Amino acid sequence: MSLPRSLHPFDLVMASTRVYSSLPVVGRHLEPFAGLTAMAMYGHHYAPAAVRGMVTRRIGGREVAAAPVVVTGEQSTGRRRVPPYLSFRAQRQRCLYRSSVRYGDHPAQLLDVWRLPDLPPDAPVLLFVPGGAWVQGSRVLQGHTLLHHLVKQGWVCLTMDYRVSPVNRWPRHIADVNAAIAWARANVDKFGGDRNFVAVAGCSAGGHLAALAGLTPGDPAFRGELTEDADTSVDAVVGIYGRYDWQDRSTPTRRNFQSFLERVVVGHRQSRRPELFEAASPLARIHQDAPPFFLIHGEQDTIIPVGEARAFGDALAAVSRNPVQYSEIPRAGHAFDLVDSSHARRLAVEVGRFLGSVRDRQLQADTAAAV
């Protein structure tokens, strides 16, 4: 790892987190605190804008509260609902089929399998990658409304843990995602899934990892311990308020984000190792054979501004030979699927519709080829 030109108190704190996380026996239990420390030390940069955005959305919500909201064919009355982050336990209890399945040898390489007991044969598969600024990566809590919806539609859903910074440096995160994809391609039929249709989705940092995995199958830099014949390709990608640009330093906010990547996630300065940041940036990895993409973002996201998702979607649509669909949710901020039930349902329905159409096209193509 290259050291910063000048020692900063932040670097000392991060060094201490790596020390206590490496302790025998107890170290692995302390790793989450290292990530929380990093988020807390950088989070103050985003707090004012996040608070302003939350206030704006609440005021806007009261202004339109009397009007019904139509969400993909379902009408809601504007009354208060249980936030999704409070209903995840019930959703998980209804749909969890098998917990803590190993997709690799490391203790952190675990996933949960969600499916119905009476699943039809060869069900399509979605791997969900949680977010958390690359310093948290837990399969608990995130994405549960989406997974619950897809499971009811007859899908097998996998939600994963992966190794995170600052204890684990880039590209460990994407290597674990690829390991989970390869595991699904080789093993998901044991749980009723179709190994020939595996999609990947993720929120925030997980959206970045999902997009990067979809654009870079077989990249040797991102394979980790996988063998050369392991299949890391996916049939569709869903990016949910994801970060798609790891290179831009054009504004103070962007420079702050790049500093976070340098000090916490990558461990190298961008000026000294620009190729690392370019290789990890989905915006720089676009190509015409990209799988079908669905991008969804909140209009009032103050953590990852919506302009980044728009730019990535436009650039991808201009090049890719496969469908690229973009959806923007009015008055929604970052992590909207955790705090607003109507937004979470809209996300689930739109993603389900998109993935269903991709799956149908694949089945039609397979039938035509067989004939």
Q: Active-site residue numbers?
A: 204, 301, 334
Beta strands per DSSP E along 94-171: 96-102, 110-114, 123-129, 156-160
- Name the burial class of residue 107, with classes exposed (0-12), middle (13-18) and buried (19+) by CB atoms within 10 angstroms of its CB: exposed
CA distance 54 to 333: 7
CA distance 199 to 89: 24
28-57: b (≥16 Cβ within 10 Å) or e:
eeebbebbebbbebbeeebeebeeebeeeb
* Rounded CA Rg of the chain: 20
CA angle 358, 361, 366 (to 5 degrees): 125
Q: Residue 234 in contact with residue 213, Cβ under 8 Å?
A: yes
Q: Residue 332 in contact with residue 131, Cβ under 8 Å?
A: no
Token representation of residue 122 = 């060869």
DSSP 7-55: --HHHHHHHHHHHHHTSTTTHHHHHHHHHHHHHHHHHTTTHHHHHHHHH
CA angle 296, 212, 177 (to 5 degrees): 105
- What phi, psi does 28 have (nearest 5°)? -65, -25
